[in-house]
Amino acid sequence: MGARDAIAKLLVGAKRTDLPTRAYHGTNKTFEAFENQPVGYMLDRGLGTHVAADPALASSFADRWIKDKGPDYFSRWTKEVKGEPQILPLRIPAEDKFLPAVQHPYSYRTPEHAPWQAIDHDEYAIERMMSEAAYRKDPDMLARYLVEARNMKPGEAAVSARSLVEGGSPVDAIEGKPRNLTEFVRNYGGKPYNDADRALMTDLARTHWQDQGYAGIKYINTSPTEAGAAGVKDPTSYIVFDPKHIRSEFAAFGDDPASMASSNLLRGAAFAPVGAGVMGETYDQYKGSQP
């Protein structure tokens, strides 16, 4: 077999059939692989990698929000990062592998509103989903939240946490007495007050959904500067839990099983772009996200 035939055989049918969905990511960096970031205050950023269905949305993210993390909050708004914005064309799992975010419509929604203008904010909607999933797995974490956020005594917090998870009414110390955990999270949110529990919540929620067969979360981007940017027609976005489920549009795969488990964007590519051999850093989402 000649070299030309060998290359043709590699390319034909070499695309991963489990990654059929096109998506895009805006960045100013060059890197080999995405990497899940440590959990910060924004829980959805630690859940996985955010990508967009519309390249114009990814472009708006790259153009507007690529800021230097800096030593403090305000520097992220004022100090630009060096590097040219670029849009990465990607492949991610099929649509049915993504759990739809529960973003309730607002009562004032009218036909004039775009889909992203009158529904729950994506960050808060996803955090509520994470809270409910994680608290069902670990009621003791919910008890700690009730102590820290609702000023309950530890004993009654433990009773209320168990009652909420089991679907009963909590003790009177919770105003309004939500009848179950879903109502409680809808009313109060439930984001933990301490770093350890925020990290635990993120891990528990991600693992719970992965065990159900999901590769990520599908949501409607509600940021006016992103979903509302010029040229954006589709505000659909995704969080991909595992970097191994993200590949460059230009990656191709042979029979090497290691390619399936790798998080390298071009692993198995028939042709690597110039410079691919020297890319070494992973993408820090905090340097490409809103404060």
From first to last of its 291 residues, the chain has per-residue pLDDT tens of: 454 444 444 444 456 778 999 999 988 777 777 887 778 778 888 999 999 999 999 988 766 544 444 444 444 444 454 556 678 899 999 999 999 999 988 877 677 777 788 889 999 999 999 999 999 999 999 999 999 998 999 999 999 999 889 876 554 445 556 678 988 898 888 999 999 999 999 999 999 999 999 999 999 999 888 888 888 999 999 999 999 999 988 876 554 555 666 666 655 443 333 333 222 233 334 333 332
Q: Which of 214, 248, 276 is at the close of a domain? A: 214
Q: Which of 214, 243, 271 is at the close of a domain? A: 214
Number of domains the chain contains: 2
Q: What is the pLDDT of residue 175?
A: 55
Q: What is the pLDDT of residue 217?
A: 97
Q: What is the pLDDT of residue 287?
A: 38
Residue 30 inside a domain? The answer is: yes
Q: Alpha-carbon distance 83 to 251, whole Å?
A: 24
Are 199 and 221 found together in one domain?
A: no
Beta carbons of 49 and 25 less than 8 angstroms apart:
yes
Residue 99 inside a domain? The answer is: no
Q: Alpha-carbon distance 249 to 23, whole Å?
A: 9
**Residue 246 gets which letter from DSSP?**
-
H or E element, residue 181: helix 181-188
Q: What is the pLDDT of residue 8?
A: 43
Are 208 and 249 found together in one domain?
A: no
pTM for the whole structure: 0.77
Are 193 and 223 found together in one domain?
A: no
Q: Alpha-carbon distance 193 to 146, whole Å?
A: 10
Q: Range of 206's domain?
A: 119-214
Give the chain's end-to-end CA distance (angstroms, integer).
Answer: 55
Q: What is the pLDDT of residue 154?
A: 95
